[in-house]
Amino acid sequence: MQIKTKSDRFIWIDIMVTLLTLELMAYFYYGVRAVVLASVCAVVSVIAELVCLRFMHRKFTADDLGCVSDALILSLMLPAVLDFRIAAIACVFSVVAAKNIFGGRLNMIFSPAAAAYVFLYTSWKNQLLMFSEPHVRTGVFEKASSLVSSASNSFNINGKMNVTDFEILLGSVSGPAGAVSILLLAVAAVVLLFRRSISAGAFIGSISASALMALIVPASVTRAASVKYTLVTNMVLFASVYIIADRRIAPKREYYAFFYGFFLAACSYILVITTAKENAIVIMSILFTPVALGFKNLEKHIELVQIEEQKEAEMAAAAVTDGEEAADEE
Protein backbone atom coordinates (compact mmCIF):
# COMPACT_ATOMS: atom_id res chain seq x y z
CA MET A 1 0.00 0.00 0.00
CA GLN A 2 1.44 3.29 -0.98
CA ILE A 3 0.09 6.39 0.62
CA LYS A 4 -0.85 9.23 -1.67
CA THR A 5 1.97 11.72 -1.92
CA LYS A 6 1.40 14.73 0.28
CA SER A 7 2.94 18.07 -0.51
CA ASP A 8 6.36 18.50 1.07
CA ARG A 9 5.36 21.92 2.33
CA PHE A 10 2.37 20.62 4.29
CA ILE A 11 4.52 17.90 5.81
CA TRP A 12 7.07 20.52 6.78
CA ILE A 13 4.42 22.71 8.42
CA ASP A 14 3.08 19.74 10.42
CA ILE A 15 6.56 18.80 11.57
CA MET A 16 7.40 22.40 12.44
CA VAL A 17 4.26 22.82 14.54
CA THR A 18 5.12 19.77 16.64
CA LEU A 19 8.76 20.79 16.92
CA LEU A 20 7.85 24.30 18.06
CA THR A 21 5.59 22.80 20.72
CA LEU A 22 8.51 20.72 21.96
CA GLU A 23 10.67 23.83 21.86
CA LEU A 24 8.12 25.56 24.08
CA MET A 25 8.48 22.74 26.57
CA ALA A 26 12.26 23.10 26.39
CA TYR A 27 11.84 26.80 27.17
CA PHE A 28 9.69 25.89 30.17
CA TYR A 29 12.39 23.60 31.60
CA TYR A 30 15.62 25.28 30.54
CA GLY A 31 14.66 28.89 29.92
CA VAL A 32 15.65 31.22 27.12
CA ARG A 33 18.96 29.42 26.57
CA ALA A 34 17.14 26.50 24.86
CA VAL A 35 15.33 28.91 22.55
CA VAL A 36 18.53 30.77 21.69
CA LEU A 37 20.26 27.46 20.93
CA ALA A 38 17.44 26.48 18.57
CA SER A 39 17.54 29.91 16.94
CA VAL A 40 21.31 29.69 16.43
CA CYS A 41 20.86 26.28 14.81
CA ALA A 42 18.06 27.53 12.56
CA VAL A 43 19.88 30.69 11.45
CA VAL A 44 23.18 28.91 10.78
CA SER A 45 21.36 26.19 8.84
CA VAL A 46 19.52 28.70 6.67
CA ILE A 47 22.75 30.58 5.92
CA ALA A 48 24.58 27.32 5.11
CA GLU A 49 21.67 26.23 2.90
CA LEU A 50 21.69 29.57 1.07
CA VAL A 51 25.43 29.32 0.40
CA CYS A 52 25.13 25.71 -0.80
CA LEU A 53 22.22 26.53 -3.11
CA ARG A 54 24.18 29.46 -4.48
CA PHE A 55 27.07 27.11 -5.28
CA MET A 56 24.66 24.72 -6.98
CA HIS A 57 23.09 27.61 -8.96
CA ARG A 58 19.70 26.88 -7.46
CA LYS A 59 17.19 29.38 -6.07
CA PHE A 60 16.13 29.34 -2.44
CA THR A 61 12.43 28.47 -2.30
CA ALA A 62 10.00 27.74 0.51
CA ASP A 63 10.75 24.03 0.05
CA ASP A 64 14.32 24.68 1.11
CA LEU A 65 13.11 25.69 4.55
CA GLY A 66 13.34 21.99 5.38
CA CYS A 67 16.75 22.88 6.79
CA VAL A 68 15.00 24.77 9.61
CA SER A 69 13.08 21.70 10.74
CA ASP A 70 16.30 19.66 10.61
CA ALA A 71 18.00 22.34 12.71
CA LEU A 72 15.18 22.27 15.26
CA ILE A 73 15.28 18.45 15.43
CA LEU A 74 19.00 18.68 16.11
CA SER A 75 18.66 21.42 18.71
CA LEU A 76 16.03 19.41 20.58
CA MET A 77 18.46 16.49 20.80
CA LEU A 78 21.16 18.68 22.37
CA PRO A 79 21.68 19.75 25.96
CA ALA A 80 20.37 23.28 26.37
CA VAL A 81 23.74 24.36 27.74
CA LEU A 82 25.78 23.22 24.74
CA ASP A 83 28.30 25.73 23.38
CA PHE A 84 26.68 27.69 20.54
CA ARG A 85 29.79 27.34 18.37
CA ILE A 86 29.64 23.56 18.56
CA ALA A 87 25.95 23.60 17.65
CA ALA A 88 26.71 25.93 14.74
CA ILE A 89 29.47 23.65 13.44
CA ALA A 90 27.10 20.69 13.65
CA CYS A 91 24.47 22.58 11.67
CA VAL A 92 26.96 23.50 8.95
CA PHE A 93 28.03 19.85 8.84
CA SER A 94 24.44 18.65 8.54
CA VAL A 95 23.58 21.05 5.73
CA VAL A 96 26.83 20.71 3.77
CA ALA A 97 28.20 17.21 4.31
CA ALA A 98 25.04 15.25 5.08
CA LYS A 99 22.66 16.95 2.68
CA ASN A 100 23.83 19.25 -0.09
CA ILE A 101 26.89 17.26 -1.16
CA PHE A 102 24.38 14.63 -2.30
CA GLY A 103 22.12 17.11 -4.07
CA GLY A 104 20.11 18.53 -1.17
CA ARG A 105 16.42 17.94 -0.62
CA LEU A 106 16.05 16.46 -4.12
CA ASN A 107 18.31 13.53 -3.32
CA MET A 108 18.24 12.89 0.40
CA ILE A 109 20.36 10.00 1.64
CA PHE A 110 20.91 10.66 5.36
CA SER A 111 18.79 12.37 7.95
CA PRO A 112 20.78 15.63 8.34
CA ALA A 113 19.89 15.95 12.03
CA ALA A 114 20.95 12.37 12.78
CA ALA A 115 24.23 12.79 10.89
CA ALA A 116 24.96 16.02 12.76
CA TYR A 117 24.17 14.36 16.07
CA VAL A 118 26.54 11.46 15.38
CA PHE A 119 29.15 13.99 14.28
CA LEU A 120 28.80 15.71 17.67
CA TYR A 121 28.84 12.31 19.37
CA THR A 122 32.21 11.48 17.85
CA SER A 123 33.81 14.89 18.37
CA TRP A 124 32.28 16.40 21.54
CA LYS A 125 30.85 13.41 23.37
CA ASN A 126 31.43 14.86 26.85
CA GLN A 127 29.64 18.10 26.10
CA LEU A 128 26.87 16.30 24.24
CA LEU A 129 26.00 13.85 26.99
CA MET A 130 26.13 16.14 30.01
CA PHE A 131 22.97 18.05 30.84
CA SER A 132 21.71 20.66 33.23
CA GLU A 133 18.89 19.62 35.54
CA PRO A 134 15.35 20.59 34.48
CA HIS A 135 14.25 23.97 35.88
CA VAL A 136 17.90 25.03 36.24
CA ARG A 137 18.05 28.06 33.98
CA THR A 138 21.36 29.08 32.57
CA GLY A 139 21.84 32.54 31.12
CA VAL A 140 22.37 32.86 27.40
CA PHE A 141 26.10 33.47 27.66
CA GLU A 142 26.72 31.78 31.00
CA LYS A 143 28.28 28.39 31.55
CA ALA A 144 26.27 25.87 33.53
CA SER A 145 27.51 25.51 37.10
CA SER A 146 26.73 21.82 37.51
CA LEU A 147 26.03 19.21 34.89
CA VAL A 148 24.64 15.72 35.27
CA SER A 149 24.45 12.65 33.07
CA SER A 150 21.10 11.81 31.52
CA ALA A 151 18.34 9.64 32.91
CA SER A 152 18.93 7.35 29.90
CA ASN A 153 22.48 6.78 31.05
CA SER A 154 21.27 5.77 34.50
CA PHE A 155 18.76 3.35 32.91
CA ASN A 156 21.41 1.87 30.60
CA ILE A 157 23.73 1.20 33.53
CA ASN A 158 21.33 0.34 36.37
CA GLY A 159 18.24 -0.78 34.51
CA LYS A 160 16.06 1.75 36.38
CA MET A 161 15.30 5.46 36.65
CA ASN A 162 14.91 7.36 39.88
CA VAL A 163 12.02 9.49 38.69
CA THR A 164 8.26 9.15 38.84
CA ASP A 165 6.13 8.21 35.85
CA PHE A 166 4.54 11.66 36.00
CA GLU A 167 7.94 13.32 35.70
CA ILE A 168 8.80 11.04 32.77
CA LEU A 169 5.58 11.91 31.00
CA LEU A 170 6.14 15.63 31.42
CA GLY A 171 9.83 15.41 30.58
CA SER A 172 11.04 16.65 33.93
CA VAL A 173 14.14 14.45 33.78
CA SER A 174 17.71 15.25 32.83
CA GLY A 175 18.31 14.77 29.16
CA PRO A 176 18.19 16.49 25.77
CA ALA A 177 16.14 19.69 25.76
CA GLY A 178 13.22 18.39 23.74
CA ALA A 179 13.57 14.66 23.41
CA VAL A 180 12.39 13.75 26.89
CA SER A 181 8.89 15.29 26.88
CA ILE A 182 7.21 11.93 26.41
CA LEU A 183 3.57 13.00 26.62
CA LEU A 184 4.08 15.77 24.13
CA LEU A 185 6.05 13.47 21.84
CA ALA A 186 3.29 10.86 21.97
CA VAL A 187 0.72 13.49 21.03
CA ALA A 188 3.00 14.75 18.25
CA ALA A 189 3.40 11.19 16.96
CA VAL A 190 -0.36 10.62 16.86
CA VAL A 191 -0.99 13.95 15.13
CA LEU A 192 1.75 13.36 12.55
CA LEU A 193 0.56 9.80 11.94
CA PHE A 194 -3.02 10.92 11.34
CA ARG A 195 -1.85 13.73 9.09
CA ARG A 196 0.38 11.22 7.28
CA SER A 197 3.36 13.49 7.74
CA ILE A 198 5.58 10.68 8.97
CA SER A 199 5.99 7.13 7.75
CA ALA A 200 3.51 5.07 9.77
CA GLY A 201 5.25 1.81 8.87
CA ALA A 202 8.66 2.97 10.05
CA PHE A 203 7.26 4.51 13.24
CA ILE A 204 5.17 1.49 14.19
CA GLY A 205 8.02 -0.86 13.27
CA SER A 206 10.46 1.04 15.43
CA ILE A 207 8.17 1.30 18.47
CA SER A 208 6.98 -2.31 18.23
CA ALA A 209 10.54 -3.66 17.89
CA SER A 210 11.69 -1.65 20.91
CA ALA A 211 8.75 -2.86 22.98
CA LEU A 212 9.08 -6.46 21.78
CA MET A 213 12.80 -6.62 22.44
CA ALA A 214 12.36 -5.05 25.86
CA LEU A 215 9.76 -7.71 26.61
CA ILE A 216 11.82 -10.66 25.35
CA VAL A 217 15.18 -9.54 26.72
CA PRO A 218 14.28 -7.25 29.63
CA ALA A 219 16.75 -4.59 30.66
CA SER A 220 15.01 -3.99 34.00
CA VAL A 221 13.89 -6.18 36.86
CA THR A 222 10.34 -6.51 35.53
CA ARG A 223 9.26 -6.81 31.92
CA ALA A 224 6.73 -3.98 32.28
CA ALA A 225 9.42 -1.63 33.59
CA SER A 226 11.75 -2.73 30.81
CA VAL A 227 9.19 -1.87 28.12
CA LYS A 228 8.27 1.42 29.77
CA TYR A 229 11.82 2.64 30.26
CA THR A 230 13.01 1.40 26.89
CA LEU A 231 10.39 3.47 25.10
CA VAL A 232 11.03 6.66 27.07
CA THR A 233 14.82 6.64 27.24
CA ASN A 234 17.66 6.89 24.74
CA MET A 235 15.56 9.18 22.52
CA VAL A 236 13.68 6.13 21.19
CA LEU A 237 10.36 7.95 20.83
CA PHE A 238 11.88 11.17 19.52
CA ALA A 239 14.07 9.38 16.96
CA SER A 240 11.19 7.14 15.91
CA VAL A 241 9.06 10.17 15.09
CA TYR A 242 11.55 12.61 13.59
CA ILE A 243 14.41 10.49 12.25
CA ILE A 244 13.33 6.94 11.49
CA ALA A 245 9.86 7.87 10.25
CA ASP A 246 11.17 10.81 8.22
CA ARG A 247 9.37 10.46 4.89
CA ARG A 248 12.46 11.67 3.00
CA ILE A 249 14.53 8.77 4.32
CA ALA A 250 12.21 5.85 5.09
CA PRO A 251 11.06 3.50 2.31
CA LYS A 252 7.81 4.64 0.66
CA ARG A 253 5.85 1.40 0.93
CA GLU A 254 4.59 0.96 4.44
CA TYR A 255 5.52 -2.70 4.86
CA TYR A 256 9.11 -2.08 3.76
CA ALA A 257 9.19 0.93 6.06
CA PHE A 258 7.90 -1.29 8.88
CA PHE A 259 10.75 -3.77 8.47
CA TYR A 260 13.24 -0.93 8.17
CA GLY A 261 12.04 0.61 11.43
CA PHE A 262 11.69 -2.77 13.11
CA PHE A 263 15.23 -4.01 12.44
CA LEU A 264 16.73 -0.61 13.14
CA ALA A 265 15.10 -0.40 16.56
CA ALA A 266 15.83 -4.06 17.36
CA CYS A 267 19.53 -3.60 16.58
CA SER A 268 19.73 -0.42 18.65
CA TYR A 269 18.09 -2.16 21.61
CA ILE A 270 20.68 -4.94 21.39
CA LEU A 271 23.39 -2.29 21.26
CA VAL A 272 21.97 -0.58 24.34
CA ILE A 273 21.80 -3.73 26.43
CA THR A 274 25.19 -5.04 25.32
CA THR A 275 27.21 -1.83 25.42
CA ALA A 276 25.02 0.66 27.35
CA LYS A 277 25.51 3.02 24.40
CA GLU A 278 23.43 6.13 25.00
CA ASN A 279 21.00 7.14 22.22
CA ALA A 280 22.13 4.20 20.10
CA ILE A 281 19.03 4.53 17.93
CA VAL A 282 20.37 7.74 16.35
CA ILE A 283 23.71 6.12 15.51
CA MET A 284 21.91 3.08 14.16
CA SER A 285 19.71 5.26 11.95
CA ILE A 286 22.85 6.33 10.07
CA LEU A 287 24.09 2.74 9.82
CA PHE A 288 20.70 1.68 8.47
CA THR A 289 20.79 4.23 5.66
CA PRO A 290 22.01 1.60 3.16
CA VAL A 291 19.07 -0.61 4.22
CA ALA A 292 16.60 2.19 3.55
CA LEU A 293 18.29 2.84 0.21
CA GLY A 294 18.19 -0.86 -0.60
CA PHE A 295 14.45 -0.93 0.05
CA LYS A 296 14.01 2.17 -2.08
CA ASN A 297 15.95 0.56 -4.92
CA LEU A 298 13.70 -2.47 -4.62
CA GLU A 299 10.61 -0.24 -4.71
CA LYS A 300 11.89 1.46 -7.82
CA HIS A 301 12.57 -1.91 -9.43
CA ILE A 302 9.06 -3.12 -8.57
CA GLU A 303 7.56 0.10 -9.95
CA LEU A 304 9.47 -0.38 -13.22
CA VAL A 305 8.31 -3.98 -13.51
CA GLN A 306 4.72 -2.92 -12.80
CA ILE A 307 4.90 -0.18 -15.45
CA GLU A 308 6.28 -2.66 -17.97
CA GLU A 309 3.59 -5.19 -17.11
CA GLN A 310 0.94 -2.49 -17.46
CA LYS A 311 2.34 -1.47 -20.83
CA GLU A 312 2.39 -5.08 -22.00
CA ALA A 313 -1.19 -5.56 -20.82
CA GLU A 314 -2.26 -2.39 -22.63
CA MET A 315 -0.49 -3.52 -25.80
CA ALA A 316 -2.10 -6.94 -25.56
CA ALA A 317 -5.51 -5.34 -25.02
CA ALA A 318 -4.90 -3.03 -27.98
CA ALA A 319 -3.90 -6.02 -30.13
CA VAL A 320 -7.09 -7.87 -29.12
CA THR A 321 -9.21 -4.78 -29.93
CA ASP A 322 -7.46 -4.40 -33.30
CA GLY A 323 -8.04 -8.08 -34.03
CA GLU A 324 -11.72 -7.79 -33.13
CA GLU A 325 -12.09 -4.66 -35.26
CA ALA A 326 -10.39 -6.41 -38.18
CA ALA A 327 -12.68 -9.39 -37.75
CA ASP A 328 -15.72 -7.07 -37.66
CA GLU A 329 -14.58 -5.36 -40.86
CA GLU A 330 -14.17 -8.75 -42.58
Partner 1 sequence: MFLVTELLSLLATNLILTQALGTSTLFIAAGNKKNLLRTAIAISVFTSVGSGAAYIINRLLPDGLSDLTLLFYTLIIGIIYVLLLTALYFIGSESFGNTRKYVHVSAFNCAVMGTLFTVTERADTYPQLNTFFNFVLSGIEAGAGFILAAFILTAAYRKLNSAKVPASFRGFPAMLVYLGLISMAVYALR
Partner 2 sequence: MKNRKTAVFDGLLGDNTVLSALMVISPVIVCGNTLENAIALIYAFSAITFFSVVLSSFVPRRLPYAAKIIFYAVIASIVYIPVKTAAREFFPEVVTRVGIYFPLLAVNSLIVVQTEAKFFRMKRGAMIGSLVFCILGFDAVMLITAFIRELLAYGTICGRLVDADTLISGLALPFGGFIFLGLLCGLYRKVRSAVGHDSDNTGGDGNVSGN
Q: Catalog residues that contact partner 1 under the rule CB under 8 A.
A: 55-56, 97-98, 100-104, 106-107, 109-110, 115, 118-119, 121-122, 217, 266-267, 270-271, 274-275, 277, 283-284, 286-287, 289-291, 293-294, 297
What helix, strand, coil percent values describe the chain, rounded to 5? 70, 0, 30
Rounded least distance, CB 83 to partner 2, Å? 7
Site string for partner 2, 103-122 (x = CB under 8 A): ----------------x--x
Rounded least distance, CB 85 to partner 2, Å? 5
Rounded least distance, CB 174 to partner 1, Å? 21
Rounded least distance, CB 86 to partner 1, Å? 16
Cα–Cα distances (Å) from 29 to 35, 79, 325, in that order, read 11, 12, 77
Strand, helix or coil for residue 274: helix
Rounded least distance, CB 83 to partner 1, Å? 20
Contacting residues for 82 by C-beta, under 8 A, at least 6 apart: 37, 127, 128
Among partner 1, partner 2, none, what does residue 171 contact (CB within 5–8 Å per kind)?
Answer: none
Among 17, 24, 51, 86, interactor with partner 2 by CB under 8 A: 86
CB nearer partner 1, residue 104 or residue 205: 104
Rounded least distance, CB 266 to partner 1, Å? 7
CA separation for the pair 153, 139 (Å, rounded): 26
CB nearer partner 1, residue 138 or residue 233: 233
Beta-bridge mates of residue 149: 130
CB nearer partner 1, residue 233 or residue 285: 285
CB nearer partner 1, residue 10 or residue 55: 55
Q: Tell me the CB-side half-sphere exposure of residue 291, using CA atoms within 13 A.
A: 19
CA separation for the pair 318, 313 (Å, rounded): 8
Q: Is 155 exposed, middle or buried (0-12, 13-18, 19+ CB in 10 A)?
A: buried
Produce one character per residue of 17-55: b if its CB has 16 or more CB atoms within 10 Å, e if not. Answer: ebbebbbebbbebbbebbbbbbbbbbebbbebbeebbee
CB nearer partner 2, residue 111 or residue 226: 111
For position 89 contacting partner 2 by CB under 8 A, the verdict is: yes
CA separation for the pair 290, 280 (Å, rounded): 17
For position 85 contacting partner 2 by CB under 8 A, the verdict is: yes
φ, ψ at 23 (rounded to 5°) = -65, -35
Q: What Rg value do the Cα atoms of the chain yield, rounded?
A: 22
For position 295 contacting partner 2 by CB under 8 A, the verdict is: no
> Binding residues for partner 2, per CB under 8 A?
83, 85-86, 89, 96-97, 101, 119, 122-124
